[in-house]
Structure 1
Amino acid sequence: MRKQKLVVAISSRALFNLDESHAVFEKQGKEAFLRYQIEHEDEVLQPGYGFSLVRKFLALNEKTPDDPLVEIILLSQNSADTGLRIFNSIAHHGLHITRAAFTSGVSPYGYMAAFGAHLFLSTNADDVAKTLNAGFAAATILCGSSIDSHPDQLRIAFDGDSVLFSDESERIYQQRGLTAFAENERTEAKKPLPGGPFKDFLSALHHIQTQCDPDTAPIRTALVTARAAPAHERVVRTLRAWGIRIDEALFLGGMPKGEFLKAFGADIFFDDQEGHCESAAQHVAAAHVPHGIINQKKPDA
């Protein structure tokens, strides 16, 4: 039976460091940017925040070269003309990326469904928000990984509420406080939480894991949540109801997550709160998921 392929989309600025050319665009405009990229199209771009993660995703295909487990898609607001430098750099770095959408300044999120993509990583928060609103997992990648303690295994960590799960319970916490939240989770312990924006992405990772020997699985996942007992029970029962395995679950009761993510060896961590991402970024690659009540814009006073 053919394996279900995991499809990850990434923007050109998340894959490569385009700060210099982006500064030209910001200061001098689109035409100057176009000229700059054409003039420098034979100069290799240096890795961006998502480069090492993409390398690890593509390395999963080495185990099944005739039936790839993962495909990386480039979704870029560049034009095809300026995109030539990006593909030259992809070739130089030996990345097997063959499919792309260049949209000339328009947000490329509309092509997620056509490519069958499970995740979009970008440095453009507006593109990420539009992708999430369209029903796909997406995150703004804030930094690159500073560790690689498990070079032969891809390690991905997730926050729970508003990322893997809906923000249903988080809303109670934000609006009514910790006591009301804890009581709700006790009462609803046997009722599975609704899925959040990253449920399908986690499911796709789990599908790859099921194709491999558990002792040598190339992917390891972790839930790293501020929840604590007794609010842990609903989470465990939810994952069980979904039929999804998560390898490690850390219920931290509000402790800072950074040291735990370092101990896990995360290649990337997804969280809906920017403060948690900034803390995590001191240790691992972090990506912000601007979803749920925490990220709703408050009206001006």
Structure 2
Amino acid sequence: MSKQKLVVAISSRALFNLDESHAIFETQGKEAFCRYQIEHENEVLEPGFGFQLVKKFLDINKVFPGEPLVEIILLSQNSADTGLRIFNSIHHHGLAITRAAFTSGVSPYGYIPAFGAHLFLSANGEDVKKALAAGFAAATIVSGPVSNASDQLRIAFDGDAVLFSDESELIYQRQGLAAFAANERDDAHKPLAGGPLKGFLSALHRIQSRFEPDVSPIRTALVTARAAPAHERVVRTLRAWDIRIDEALFLGGMPKGAFLKAFGADIFFDDQTGHCESAQMHQITSAHVPHGITNQSKT
């Protein structure tokens, strides 16, 4: 079934606001954290950065009640004991989440393939890095939880090092814009290799393919710093993958935030923190994909 439906895994700190209990964990240790969670397990948690996104994902299932198109999985470093508060809050908020892995402090990314998840969203950057290093699609939610008023789920992606590999970005970083432009012009008919979120986009496309474009519950956008003539290779790559992107914005280095606002993005995925910050300035939920040469150079 996981091959037919979209499966998104999310951490408890991305789904709910656990800042208070996490601060106790950081300052007083695991035992104090566990004690606090058990003492407060009947207190409902407030939404976190990923809450509205999850709600919109689950609302897609209302279209085909007997055949869910999306499943949300909880992957949490809580124990089953402290996880009771998480599930109590899930029930209170009416979220149809029934499957979970509680790992008692161990990074839960190893369960991504077992659940068949196409994407792992977490508030823990280290967990995300481990997931990406293992070959799984993952991103760190760094802002939110503002959601656009539309019922349609709108997801925006950067291109290089997110949907596509960082092969072209590598040339840009090491040889400059002129070398990058020349390479993209010469290789315009050579499809780019897939990046970490290609499989997630493909799973979104499978859902979109069941609807006419004007009534689809999902709308996607590519929002890239590329400009002509480097746009051609991107267009031909998506065509070779047989994946639909509803909107493509080639910004030539302009800040992305205002364009994401105009698109009405519920979430934006980018490998560069500066673009995530630009999205945040325009009240767009953003997720950092710490992948590729740009992130390697910072470590």
For 2:165 and 2:53, locate their aligned partners in 1 and report how far apart those are by CA, in whole Å: 26
Structure 2 counterparts to residues 130-279 of structure 1, below 5 A: 130-150=130-150, 152-279=151-278
Q: In the alignment, is residue 6 of structure 1 matched against residue 6 of structure 2?
A: yes
For 1:82 and 1:181, locate their aligned partners in 2 and report how far apart those are by CA, in whole Å: 50
Q: In the alignment, is residue 18 of structure 1 matched against residue 18 of structure 2?
A: yes
* TM-score normalised by L of structure 2: 0.98
Q: Deviations over 1:164-196 (max 9, x none)?
A: 000000000000000000000000000000000
**Cα displacement (A) at 1:297:** 4.5
Structure 2 counterparts to residues 58-73 of structure 1, below 5 A: 58-73=58-73
For 2:145 and 2:39, locate their aligned partners in 1 and report how far apart those are by CA, in whole Å: 31
Higher deviation after alignment, 127-136 or 228-237: 127-136
Q: Deviations over 1:180-239 (max 9, x none)?
A: 000000000000000000000000000000011221000000000000000000000000
SS in 1 for 2:281: coil
Find runs of 4+ consecutive structure 1 residues off by over 2 angstroms. none
Counterpart in 2 of 1:104?
Answer: 104
Counterpart in 2 of 1:113?
Answer: 113
For 1:124 and 1:264, locate their aligned partners in 2 and report how far apart those are by CA, in whole Å: 28
For 1:58 and 1:221, locate their aligned partners in 2 and report how far apart those are by CA, in whole Å: 17
SS in 1 for 2:191: coil
Q: In the alignment, is residue 32 of structure 1 matched against residue 26 of structure 2?
A: no
8 Å CA contact retained: 1:165, 1:193: yes
8 Å CA contact retained: 2:3, 2:116: no
**Cα displacement (A) at 1:149:** 3.3
For 1:111 and 1:213, locate their aligned partners in 2 and report how far apart those are by CA, in whole Å: 34
8 Å CA contact retained: 1:14, 1:51: yes
SS in 2 for 1:281: helix
Any unmatched runs of 5+ in structure 2?
none
For 1:276 and 1:147, locate their aligned partners in 2 and report how far apart those are by CA, in whole Å: 18
8 Å CA contact retained: 1:2, 1:67: no
What's the Cα RMSD here? 1.3
Identity of aligned residues (%): 79
8 Å CA contact retained: 1:3, 1:67: no
Number of corresponding residues: 298
8 Å CA contact retained: 2:7, 2:70: yes
**Cα displacement (A) at 1:108:** 0.2
For 1:215 and 1:42, locate their aligned partners in 2 and report how far apart those are by CA, in whole Å: 43
SS in 2 for 1:211: coil
**Cα displacement (A) at 1:134:** 1.2
Any unmatched runs of 5+ in structure 1?
none
**Cα displacement (A) at 1:32:** 0.5
For 2:49 and 2:195, locate their aligned partners in 1 and report how far apart those are by CA, in whole Å: 25
Counterpart in 2 of 1:49?
Answer: 49
For 2:294 and 2:72, locate their aligned partners in 1 and report how far apart those are by CA, in whole Å: 30
**Cα displacement (A) at 1:88:** 0.2
**Cα displacement (A) at 1:298:** 5.3
**Cα displacement (A) at 1:146:** 2.3
SS in 1 for 2:65: coil
